[in-house]
């Protein structure tokens, strides 16, 4: 499989100000595979240590803070070669607090070594406190649609999408196959194992089973790693996500989790899911101003899942739906489509997407690109009428140089409205810059 995160890892390797790296992301997004694949590019390969499976390595970090002595002990105990031309991988690092803490000593005392770490639920551990400024972070999510195309043997389609450098209609010979591939992406999602099963074996039942296993592993983590008093609340929130997204107004409601539920009772449980990278949170803004975060309404937000395929499976939408024209795009009030768009936008913009609402109007997302604020609408098919986007543009005309609509309509720029086909979402940032330049 081709993962674009490998390019980011190479940039980290070549940085003059490189620090020990922490790769964050949900369980089973491919963090270990990516680090090991990256490690093969080093002259002396990689040395791999898993603190969950090989708990005996933890004592090396408990007995000393001398990182060179730690490395000497690790090399002798494991029989692996460790030099300044080796990528040192600390996996499941959350299982050893001392190893996590040692990263600051690698930064200060041994910067010549390449140290990269990863782990499940690492966000939970980091949320409890970590010395800032001593590590680099890299976020890793599910496979993008472009990566899915490459894994599915559709290099020609991926190459075509990568080569688009003007805003012009896409020929049907590319447009129609891309829509069909996108339908399957909504079914399979971007988690590497389901993608591998589908692209290699074409077995949709087995693909569905693997998705179920991933969801089950997440739910097992609730009981294994969360505070026992929060576990039932985490499960209730998790179970409520499909119904939360099925409403016309997708604002997260604690009362939809359980009758009478209040924020103060369930806030810790929701934060656990967020810190575990299992859900994404988008805040409502009161108005489009710079920076966006200054206008957050912290009491109003929407919650999405980390992967569209997992949301589809968690919502019990049968795989047969992909054969029914646009049903996958329109199901749950277009929630799958919004989830898919958010997955990609979150990777492309430094500031997390927000949304805007003023009853009865709501714009799905608002993104900040440099000093421009762009409203974004997601339309699940070819019915693209949007009173909310029109209302927003009238109310904030001076702050709105461009509006973006994702849909199944063709690529076009009509005045200051940029229509981007859903399958081009991974190129959104570049297309927005192109439109703004015009």
Which of 125-134, 143-152, 241-250, 353-362 comes out lowest in average pLDDT? 125-134
Mean pLDDT computed over 56-83: 96
pLDDT, position 131: 66
Percentage of the chain beyond pLDDT 70 is 96
The alpha carbon of residue 253 and the mean position of all alpha carbons in its chain are separated, in whole angstroms, by 23
Residue 320 CA to residue 10 CA, distance in Å, equals 40
Does pLDDT of 331 surpass 70? no
Mean pLDDT for the stretch of residues 67-87: 97
Is the C-alpha dihedral spanning 106, 108, 112, 118 positive or negative?
A: positive
Q: What is the residue-averaged pLDDT of the chain? A: 94
pLDDT digits (tens, 9 = 90+) for 209-224: 999 999 999 999 999 9
Q: Which residues make Cβ contacts (< 8 Å) with residue 400, sequence separation at least 6?
A: 288, 373, 374, 375, 392, 393, 416
> Burial level of 204, CB count in 10 A (0-12/13-18/19+)?
middle
Distances (CA, A) of 166 to 157, 159, 171, 172, 431: 17, 15, 13, 17, 8
Q: Is the pLDDT of residue 322 over 70?
A: no
Q: What is the pLDDT of residues 166-205, one digit of tens each?
A: 999 999 999 999 999 999 999 999 999 999 999 999 999 9
Is pLDDT above 70 for 323?
no
The CA distances from residue 22 to 90, 99, 139, 438, in Å, are 9, 12, 9, 39
pLDDT-based confidence at residue 386 (cuts at 50, 70, 90)? confident
pLDDT reading at 384 higher than 80: no
Query: Which residues are 149's β-sheet partners?
Result: none
**What's the pLDDT band for 129 if we cut at 50, 70, 90?**
low
Peptide bond into 291 cis (omega under 30): yes
User: pTM of the entire structure?
Assistant: 0.94
- Predicted pLDDT at 318: 87
Alpha-carbon separation of residue 340 from 155, 309, 378, 386 (angstroms): 21, 9, 10, 19
Q: What is the pLDDT of residue 74?
A: 97
In which band, very low, low, confident or very high, does the pLDDT at 332 lie, cut at 50, 70 and 90? low
Closest CA to 276 of 197, 355, 217, 210: 217
**Going from the N-terminus, what domains does the chain have, and what CATH number goes with each?**
5-139 (3.40.50.300), 168-437 (no CATH)
List the one residue out of 349, 328, 350 whose CA is nearest residue 339: 328
């Amino acid at each position: 499989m081709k993962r674009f995160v490998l390019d980011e890892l190479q940039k980290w390797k070549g940085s003059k100000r490189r620090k020990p790296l922490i790769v964050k992301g949900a369980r089973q997004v491919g963090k270990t595979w990516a680090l090991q694949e990256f490690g093969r590019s080093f002259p002396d390969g990689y040395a791999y240590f898993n603190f969950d499976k090989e708990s005996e390595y933890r004592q090396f970090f408990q007995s000393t803070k001398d990182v060179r002595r730690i490395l000497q002990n690790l090399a002798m105990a494991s029989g692996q070669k460790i030099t300044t031309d080796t990528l040192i991988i600390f996996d499941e690092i959350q299982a050893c607090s001392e190893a996590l803490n040692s990263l600051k000593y690698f930064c200060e005392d041994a910067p010549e070594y390449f140290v990269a770490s990863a782990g499940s639920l690492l966000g939970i551990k980091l949320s409890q406190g970590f010395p800032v400024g001593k590590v680099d972070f890299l976020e890793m999510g599910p496979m993008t649609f472009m990566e899915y195309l490459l894994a599915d043997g559709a290099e020609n389609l991926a190459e075509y999408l990568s080569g688009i450098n003007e805003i012009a209609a896409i020929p049907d010979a590319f447009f129609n196959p891309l829509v069909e591939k996108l339908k399957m992406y909504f079914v399979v999602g971007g988690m590497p194992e389901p993608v591998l099963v589908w692209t290699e074996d074409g077995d949709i039942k087995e693909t569905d089973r693997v998705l179920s296993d991933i969801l089950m592993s997440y739910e097992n983590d609730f009981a294994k790693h969360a505070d026992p008093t929060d576990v039932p609340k985490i499960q209730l929130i998790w179970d409520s996500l499909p119904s939360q997204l099925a409403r016309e107004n997708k604002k997260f409601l604690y009362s939809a989790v359980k009758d009478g539920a209040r924020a103060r009772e369930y806030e810790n449980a929701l934060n656990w899911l967020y810190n575990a990278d299992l859900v994404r949170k988008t805040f409502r803004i009161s108005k489009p101003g710079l920076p966006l975060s200054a206008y957050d309404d912290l009491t109003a937000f929407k919650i999405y899942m980390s992967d569209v395929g997992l949301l589809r499976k968690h919502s019990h939408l049968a795989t047969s739906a992909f054969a029914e024209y646009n049903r996958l795009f329109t199901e749950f009030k277009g929630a799958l489509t919004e989830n898919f768009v958010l997955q990609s936008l979150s990777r492309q913009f430094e500031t997390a997407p927000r949304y805007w609402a003023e009853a009865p109007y709501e714009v799905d997302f608002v993104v900040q690109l440099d000093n421009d604020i762009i409203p974004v609408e997601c339309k699940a098919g070819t019915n693209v009428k949007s009173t909310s986007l029109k209302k927003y543009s009238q109310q904030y005309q001076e702050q709105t140089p461009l509006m973006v609509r994702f849909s199944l309509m063709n690529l076009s720029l009509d005045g200051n409205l940029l229509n981007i086909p859903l399958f081009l979402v991974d190129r959104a940032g570049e297309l927005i810059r192109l439109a703004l330049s015009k």
